Amino acid sequence: MTENESRPGPASTGGHQPHQNVHPQYGPYPQYGYQQPASPNPLFTPPAPPVPAPRRSRRLAAVVSGTALAAALIGGGAGATIVGLTGTSAAAPATSSAVTGQTISSTTSTGDVSAVAAKVVPSVVQVNVTTAQGEAIGSGVILSSDGRILTNAHVVDGARSVTITTSDGKKYQASVVGADTKGDIAVVQAQNASGLTAATLGDSGKLVVGQSVVAIGSPGGLQNTVTTGIVSALNRPLSDVGEQQQQQQSPFGRQTSNESSSSGPSYTAIQTDASINQGNSGGALVNAQGEVIGINSALYSPSASASGAAGSVGIGFAIPINDAKTIVNQIVNG
């Protein structure tokens, strides 16, 4: 129906009158919907068009959104034998130092793991050892800027040559200063080293169960690997875990099977669920302040009894740093 067509009007005595599609006051309008009057009407004021936001406001919104996205993208352990021989504000979001390696997990309950890693990774080295049986990989903690290194005794056991690799890739030949097989602690000296970053040693006597910890080392030769967890238990004798395995191949490998002999390690350990794998031995277990509170030394892996392979099942062990410091003093000072 067009604007010129008529509709049936209301009934009247005179028959039907045509009804035009025209409002007597507002003018013509279409069949469907409303059309603005053709002529101005003092009773009708059309709505004002929307006023665009100032360009500066839009730009500010874009900057804030970009900052939030950047903040969202910036997220933000241990080693072993098989208890085994192998050796801020939105305007300025915090950034972490670049660290080569694998960083697992973003935060601990008390701080940012990236900050702990940035502080401690330069103080942890990879230890490559050649023995009559072949080659082995472990980790170590720098004690002095001239290259004194703390590691596990089982890492350098039978060593014919030792090579130290720092976190930035520099390599040094090293010699074994001494070792305590019972305490599983050894000291090696990197030759012609200077300017190394010594670790900050903490107080393992202040540890509590449930405290967050970070492990740093070279599991499987993957240097500068960082993992996180908590202190699962304190003063854990390794014999508590290995004594039920005496009639079968022990998941602790050679270290536990030697426990009954005079040459086997014997110490009470910090138990942690931070991921510990072969190659972490001698590496650092640190608190949220980046202080070394343990030397990663062993892992419990039941699968090793069946297949010979070993991997972390969340039961790892570290030598308390207070015990390690006592042994180091005995080795160095006689």
Structure tokens at 223: 């240097």
**Catalytically annotated residue among 218, 281, 297, 301:** 281
Side-chain-side CA neighbours of 319 within 13 Å: the count stands at 35
Q: Which amino acid is at 319?
A: I
Please answer whether residues 295 and 303 qualify as being in contact, where contact means their C-beta atoms are separated by less than 8 angstroms. no
- 168 labelled catalytic: no
- 184 labelled catalytic: yes
- 19 labelled catalytic: no
Map tokens 């062993």 to a residue: 298
**Catalytically annotated residue among 184, 204, 212, 312:** 184
Distance CA 245, CA 223 (A): 32
**Catalytically annotated residue among 114, 154, 180, 273:** 154
Distance CA 150, CA 58 (A): 57
User: How many residues in the chain?
Assistant: 334
Please answer whether residues 280 and 139 qualify as being in contact, where contact means their C-beta atoms are separated by less than 8 angstroms. yes
Stretch (H or E) spanning 165: strand 161-165
Q: Which amino acid is at 234?
A: L
Distance CA 209, CA 271 (A): 9
In the chain, at which residue ranges do the beta strands (DSSP E only) sit? Answer: 7-8, 18-19, 22-23, 27-28, 78-80, 107-108, 111-112, 124-131, 134-142, 148-151, 161-165, 171-180, 185-190, 212-217, 225-237, 268-272, 276-278, 284-286, 292-299, 316-320
Strands 124-131, 161-165: pairing is antiparallel
Among candidate residues 110, 47, 27, 112, the one with its CA nearest the CA of residue 74: 112
Report the catalytic residues. Answer: 154, 184, 281
